Amino acid sequence: MIKFMFLKKMANKNTKVFLLTVLIAVVLFFFIPKKFLPHISQKSTSDKNLILLKNVADLIKDYYVEEPNALKTMKGAIRGLIGPLDPLSSYLDVPTVKKHKNPGSAELKETGIVVYKKFGTYPIVIGIKENSPAEVAGIKVGDTLSEMDGQPLLELSMQEANLYLKDTEEKPVNLKILRTEDTEEMSLQRKSLYDTPFTYTPQKNTSGILKIHSFYPPFGTQLKETLLTTLKTKKEALIIDLRNCHEGEIGESLKFINHFLRSDRVGYFQGKNGEKEYLACPETPELEGLPLIIWTNNATIGPAEAVAGILMEFQRAKTIGLKTPGLLVKQDFYLLEDGSALLLTSQIFYFRDGKEMWLKGITPDSEIKEKNPNFDLYLKKTYELLPKI
């Protein structure tokens, strides 16, 4: 594992420190590819690029009107290196690291917004959780966020933006929203949305709707203790609602899949050197004969994509909804000396036949064309599909 060493006194605002921060960023650029995806170019930076970088630093040192802020420059340089790699790789500042270490904590309050972001673009709202402050306030899928609490969002990563929307306190976040017709500012309260990782509700002519909020522990334990016995008595199709389920752990999602099928190989993760980590669901499934219908949208991300994709591939489920973004990966976390961190994508998911999910996503069997379909439309599509199962 590569350790990145930074100067302890980054706040020393002189041009030598500024130049050193830029050069450190270049060193990072040389070393980071050793842990990266097979899709990322491994070509070494040429000497010409180093000379070019030094010339730029010299010009700033000699001619820029003010003394450069070394700390700000350092963060900007790191974000500039990490951001273009992929939507999930990220630089995390110290406050964001604390949220990342325990993202599934019930202590974290949230707005109900899920955003997608590429480097150099503003975050776009791709999901609104039901009965959340965002839904009540009228925020829509497709809205663009330009600022949070006065902080411009162009340079932040997707991970940073989503984590910023959470907090340990029920305090508001001030948003600036860009829309086609106008720009709107609003204050959105954070609050606890769910007491458990899932909710279950009866639904006529089905085995009910299992709404999964996240695949963080204790998802598997609570499902087994509170719902599994009930589901064993059911015969009609169970609706698994994965809309806006964008967080969790792959281990929890595999345990969930294992309730419906058994296989020694359901897919694998692969890194840049070609090494494969095979995934299995080895236990005898308790719900092997239960028909399944899965609901997805653009905010069905990560472990939730594994559930939808694997159950589809094994022909254990039919899916209804919107295409998912294809962000099922493994990441390495590197804590830096000042308490900030790097989150780097190191492996991407493949199905058992070698088909890649990365940035391709899951296309539902019954794809909905509306940008923001509501619950009633999903239910209508479900009842149309039931006779074919």
Higher pLDDT, 36 or 11: 36
The pTM (predicted TM-score) of the whole model is 0.85
Question: 103 pLDDT exceeds 90?
Answer: no
Kindly report each contact of residues 44-52 with a partner whose C-beta sits within 8 Å and lies 24 or more positions away, as own/partner.
50/26
Task: Note whether 190 and 133 are within 8 A (CB).
Answer: yes
| Residue 41: per-residue pLDDT | 43
Reported as a pLDDT band with limits 50, 70 and 90, residue 19 is very low
User: Residue 56: CB partners within 8 Å, gap ≥ 6?
Assistant: 22
Segment 199-254, tens digit of pLDDT: 999 999 999 999 999 999 999 999 999 999 999 999 999 999 999 999 999 999 99
| Residue 59: per-residue pLDDT | 82
Q: How many helices (H) and strands (E) does the chain have?
A: 11, 17
Reported as a pLDDT band with limits 50, 70 and 90, residue 282 is very high
Task: Report the C-alpha gap between 194 and 110 in whole angstroms.
Answer: 10
DSSP code for 35:
G
26: nearest Cα among 47, 48, 9, 50: 50
- What is the set of domains in the chain, with CATH numbers? 15-82 (no CATH), 94-189 (2.30.42.10), 198-331+344-388 (3.90.226.10)
User: Residue 234: CB partners within 8 Å, gap ≥ 6?
Assistant: 207, 208, 290
| Residue 147: per-residue pLDDT | 97
What is the 3-state composition of the chain as percent helix, strand, coil, each rounded to the nearest 5? 30, 25, 45
Six token digits for residue 175: 């948003």
Average pLDDT of 369-388?
Answer: 95
Q: Which of 40-54, 190-204, 267-281 has the lowest mean pLDDT?
A: 40-54
Q: Which of 64-73, 183-192, 294-303 has the lowest mean pLDDT?
A: 64-73
| Residue 275: per-residue pLDDT | 94
CA–CA distances in Å: residue 261 to residues 20, 344, 384: 55, 32, 25
Task: Report the C-alpha gap between 189 and 150 in whole angstroms.
Answer: 16
User: Residue 296: CB partners within 8 Å, gap ≥ 6?
Assistant: 242, 243, 304, 308, 319, 320, 321, 322, 323, 324, 362, 364
Question: 135 pLDDT exceeds 70?
Answer: yes
| Residue 30: per-residue pLDDT | 45
| Residue 70: per-residue pLDDT | 60
